[in-house]
Amino acid sequence: MSRIKDWPEDERPREKLLQRGAEQLSSAELLALILRNGDASSGRSAVDQGRSLLERFGGLRELAQARTAELCELPGIGPAKAAEIQAVFQLARRFAAAALQPGARYTSSSDAFSHFHPRLRDYRREVFLALLLDSKNCLLREVQISEGSLNASIVHPREVFVPVVRESAAAVLFIHNHPSGDPTPSSEDIALTSRLKQAGELMGVRVLDHIIIGDGRYHSFADQGML
């Protein structure tokens, strides 16, 4: 087996990172540090496994979406290594989303897109979020209302406005993703947005926007004059 510890020191991923910095490592080498060990049965090193993962799924974006069963189809990748890979990508998503904290002020749909796009673009299911805001449009709390099927998310105004009332929010902003990557609103999205706006008007809560996150682009109901 080709063992990384038998390589010249300046070619080993860990030593290379410590000496030159993480940005100097290839994606396969970074994955090797997560995998740690290669595949004894095939004689492949951890770097070889990293390359195989990238080739099998077509890149980091696609690898980030891989399920446990899909990862385990590769020789030498068991549930433990699959869990480690998924954990790293989930940490990356959370890091990308970590900037929006209670007290942050909502200013535009583009700001919301920049924040939520890295987090939601790779989800295989529709996730519907409500951002509860105060009278100055500052964030009080983020609430996940539902996680739907591959094609639809079931949301009822009652479920949405229970936390709004509990937090005494003055305004609310809705965000959800389209796993297809196309943010064009469906007829269900349009009908739901209308119901939520009506419910907000009845309760004295401003519905600022409903933003649909796609792959690299988004749809804002407010920007398009659909609210």
In the chain, beta strands by DSSP E: 127-133, 139-147, 171-177, 206-213, 218-220
Q: Tell me how far apart the alpha carbons of residues 159 and 150 are, in angstroms, rounded to a whole number.
A: 21
Q: Beta strand 171-177 with 206-213: parallel, antiparallel or unpaired? A: parallel
pLDDT at 1: 47
Q: If you search the block for the tokens 């990172």, which residue do you land on?
A: 17
Supply the pLDDT for residue 171: 95
Q: Specify whether the CB–CB gap between 225 and 210 falls below 8 A.
A: no
Per-residue pLDDT at 135: 92
User: Which of helix, strand or coil describes residue 133?
Assistant: strand
Q: With contact defined as beta carbons under 8 Å apart, do 214 and 121 qualify?
A: yes
Q: Is the pTM of this model over 0.85?
A: no
Domains of the chain (ranges; CATH) run 4-96 (1.10.150), 99-220 (3.40.140.10)
**What's the pLDDT at 70?**
93
The pLDDT tens digits along the chain (227 residues) read: 456 665 655 678 888 888 888 888 899 999 989 888 877 777 788 888 899 999 999 988 889 888 999 999 988 899 999 999 999 988 887 776 655 566 778 888 998 898 888 888 878 889 999 999 999 999 999 999 988 765 566 788 888 899 998 999 999 999 999 999 999 999 999 999 999 999 999 999 999 999 999 988 999 999 999 98
Angle between helix 187-203 and 157-166 (nearest 10): 40
